[in-house]
Structure 1
């Protein structure tokens, strides 16, 4: 088994570029993931692992055998190399080099006649994207669409803040126009979260095929989502401010949709 002991190793330098630069991730179609839980979610999500790097003193090889398929290439690394590659302050001693998935709309498949999907338009903060992916996983919704993406989905901050839920959700990335066309073709009602020309969110029926659409806190949804909506919706504010964090708003509406659907069942 190969062992790397130097942070000056060329392969390690290439992996650092993957961690730091979205351009490298796009060019190579590879990204890094650290931690046993996240790696187990990768496997459940049918991602292909290119290489596993591990610190033998921290993550024993017999543990590796039970977690990773035998066909996956393994490289032992030192603690120093691990600490250089690790994005978060962890000591789990295992990092995976993973092959990216194709997030095309054509790959989306629904297992129900009444899908519930979440659309995020132009969200800039990786932490908000990660939090909403966690909500999507918790609610077990059918798909997440990223419209007019401002960050690549394998940004380390998205992976970290989603606690691996980027791997548990069915995801597609496209322009707003492409996603709206997909939703309309599949007869999915569009509920756009916006203050303009909107009804209170809890007064709508989400038991039919439904897309809940949220935008940035700074500018909200673009006009196309307000104009193409089946119905615009809002969350009534009772305090001094007129909005809340987008990930919180998303969770409120998503779980109202789940409440209606569970009650109907």
Structure 2
């Protein structure tokens, strides 16, 4: 299929997916760029259409997937378009030559309770798409159970967040839920809920992360909200030898996740 007009109804629908309201209503989002599209296809993520620049052609990295998807139970559309269509549907300053129209996965937060030795990142009010994307990448890197996103956090399907996950969002459950309901339930099932605090008595290096653990990380400026903090079992501090006042939330999360991985797999 080829689409050349930016006024085409399909193009208008894709362009609207830059708005969170439409993403929520349609249950779809955009993944931009060769790497993300390739990772989505490789991971078996729910890809609906692959849209590419007709002048530049389908990127070589994706050609092997055309035949594979023709015989799948849910065939993927491969659609050639003009550069103008690509620019209308994406928000990167220098658009790449391909994007995928993705269906939001049917994930349930119940999946986070199924792991025997859970390691879950709980995100409470993080606003920067780059920070959320990096948190998801780090959770993927250490083999975490998943990421739970609370209300007030930037949309995981925001195009900037999607790009910054570098495909990690296709590798593990990333689910949304009410933290004030889910944290108490996790605690009832034996999970230790942990956050960071500059006043904490325990260093992250003396805390036992081998037990089922949910980390709570908070807003860049305000930290974890008081309501969520009241549900935390333990607070830990990340020691610093230098003069930095604090760590970026994504960096702090990465430090904690890697210490958990070290204790669990590299003792």
Same fold (TM over 0.5): yes
Over aligned residue pairs, what C-alpha RMSD do you find?
2.3
Residue 159 of structure 1, CA deviation: 0.6
Query: Separation in 1 of the partners of 2:106 and 2:198?
Result: 34
Q: Could you list the runs of 5+ residues in structure 1 that have no partner in the other structure?
A: none
Which whole-Å deviations, capped at 9, do the CAs of 1:204-239 have from their partners, x for residues lacking one? Answer: 010111112211231111234433323111112444
- 1:195 has 2:169 as partner: no
Which residue in the other structure is 2:8 paired with? 9
Q: Could you list the runs of 5+ residues in structure 2 that have no partner in the other structure?
A: none
Classify the secondary structure of the residue corresponding to 1:172. strand
Which residue in the other structure is 2:173 paired with? 170
Which residue in the other structure is 2:158 paired with? 155
Which whole-Å deviations, capped at 9, do the CAs of 1:144-185 have from their partners, x for residues lacking one? Answer: 111224322200010111112222221121122122034224
Query: Separation in 1 of the partners of 2:207 and 2:58?
Result: 53
Select 2:106's aligned residue among 91, 102, 107: 102
Which residue in the other structure is 1:81 paired with? 85
Question: Normalising by structure 2, what TM-score?
Answer: 0.88
- Comparing 250-259 with 183-192, greater Cα deviation is found at 183-192
Which residue in the other structure is 1:219 paired with? 222
Question: Normalising by structure 1, what TM-score?
Answer: 0.88
Classify the secondary structure of the residue corresponding to 2:254. helix
Aligned CA distance change for structure 1 residues 41 and 77 (closer, same or farther; 3 Å)? same
Residues matched between the structures, number: 261
Classify the secondary structure of the residue corresponding to 1:131. helix
Q: Is the 8 A contact 1:121 1:221 kept in 2?
A: yes
Question: Which residues in structure 2 correspond to 1:1-265 (within 5 Å)?
Answer: 2-19=1-18, 21-60=19-58, 64-68=62-66, 69-70=69-70, 71-89=75-93, 92-108=96-112, 110=114, 112-264=115-267
Query: Separation in 1 of the partners of 2:95 and 2:223?
Result: 39
Residue 139 of structure 1, CA deviation: 1.1
Classify the secondary structure of the residue corresponding to 1:202. coil
Query: Separation in 2 of the partners of 1:253 and 1:62?
Result: 39
Residue 101 of structure 1, CA deviation: 1.8
Q: Is the 8 A contact 1:189 1:230 kept in 2?
A: yes
Residue 94 of structure 1, CA deviation: 2.0
Query: Separation in 2 of the partners of 1:226 and 1:149?
Result: 15
